[in-house]
Amino acid sequence: MMADARGHAETWGTIARTYIRLTNDRSLPVAMQNRLIAEADALMPDNPYDVHTLATSHVGFLLNPAEVAGILDRLTV
């Protein structure tokens, strides 16, 4: 958690990226999620995040598996 985990445009930015924003997340508030999305998109303007939003908490992936699966199923490669 203390290591430098920044993405680098020459490697990380070469694959499609999807972000599922969780609006009720108290571990990672929406403002921080938006900042992470904005900073990544600024680093890779030609490869922005495909952002989806779920009204759930940090454990929303476990609580709403059908919604998450639906998002993942609609992703393009």
Predicted TM-score (pTM) of this structure: 0.82
Compute mean pLDDT per 10 residues along the chain, 77 residues long, and list them. 77 84 94 95 91 92 89 84
Distance of CA 29 to CAs 13, 40, 56, 58, Å? 24, 17, 12, 9
The confidence score (pLDDT) of residue 53 equals: 95
Residue-range domain boundaries for the chain:
17-73
27 and 60 Cβ atoms separated by less than 8 Å: no
49 and 17 Cβ atoms separated by less than 8 Å: yes
Give the pairing type, strands 50-54 and 18-22: parallel
